[in-house]
């Protein structure tokens, strides 16, 4: 195994534990990253609680979400979320699907998710909402079919996170560090927005502020500092 792949496995395992430690991922979330030397593959943990994931738990899958090597390990049920987004977006290098309590209120109301502080601008200028009913009617809300994964990827489009009606959120990044940064601080933005709504009228960042903050916060210094923390 190359040093690049070994480092990727270590980083992905670390990302799982960080997001669990920060209270973003619950028992049912999952994180992946594109393979560092084979862009037509991705890495993801076996079916395991994120706070326990180690490098040896990381499996290698094709973009059709099939293990490259036979395995007896149980796999996550919603792998198509990852595989279909990697197929649709060559720039995406890491993906997190989670059900943070902070974000869920924006999945069950018609209130728009908006950046309300500078770190929250990592959500990007637009946060779309995917409603599985639009194409598939009443379902279990679990994304397990390839056509559902492809539909979610279309809803995400060129954006950096997509809310999933009555389910959760999927966040993408240009590196595993970028993804962890965005996943944590968009969740905190959601919590702050909900608190502010309880107090009165919320004034989000304007479009120019949001774009400038988005650009700055994606630079190497904020990302490296947050990852180190």
Neighbours of 122 (CB within 10 A): 27
Catalytic residue list contains 60:
no
- Residue 200 in contact with residue 192, Cβ under 8 Å? no
Q: For residue 98, what is the enclosing H or E element?
A: strand 94-98
Find all residues with CB under 8 Å of 3, minimum gap 6, and list them.
none
Q: Are 50 and 20 in contact (CB under 8 A)?
A: yes
Check 22, 51, 60, 78 and give the catalytic one. 78
Say how far apart CA 189 and CA 212 lie, in whole Å.
Answer: 17
Strands lying side by side in the sheet with 41-45:
58-62, 41-45, 30-34, 94-98, 168-173, 161-164, 129-130
CA 93 to CA 178: how far, in whole Å?
Answer: 9
Distance of alpha carbon 154 from alpha carbon 133, whole angstroms: 15
What residues act catalytically?
78
């Amino acid at each position: 195994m190359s040093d690049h792949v070994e480092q990727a496995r270590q980083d992905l395992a670390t990302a799982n534990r960080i997001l669990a430690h920060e209270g973003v991922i619950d028992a049912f979330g999952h994180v992946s990253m594109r393979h560092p030397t084979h862009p037509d593959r991705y890495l993801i943990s076996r079916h395991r609680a994120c706070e326990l994931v180690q490098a040896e738990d990381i499996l290698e899958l094709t973009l059709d979400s099939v293990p490259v090597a036979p395995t007896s390990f149980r796999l996550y049920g919603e792998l198509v979320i990852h595989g279909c987004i990697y197929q649709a977006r060559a720039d995406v290098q890491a993906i997190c699907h989670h059900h943070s309590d902070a974000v869920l209120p924006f999945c069950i109301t018609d209130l728009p998710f908006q950046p309300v502080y500078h770190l929250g601008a990592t959500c990007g200028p637009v946060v779309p909402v995917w409603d599985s009913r639009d194409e598939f009617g009443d379902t279990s809300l679990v994304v397990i079919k390839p056509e559902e994964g492809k539909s979610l990827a279309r809803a995400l489009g060129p954006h950096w996170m997509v809310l999933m009606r009555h389910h959760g959120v999927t966040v993408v990044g240009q590196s595993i560090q970028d993804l962890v940064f965005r996943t944590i601080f968009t969740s905190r933005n959601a919590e702050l927005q909900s608190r502010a709504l309880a107090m009165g009228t919320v004034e989000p960042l304007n479009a120019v502020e949001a774009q400038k903050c988005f650009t700055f916060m994606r630079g190497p210094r904020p990302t490296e500092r947050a990852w180190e923390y």
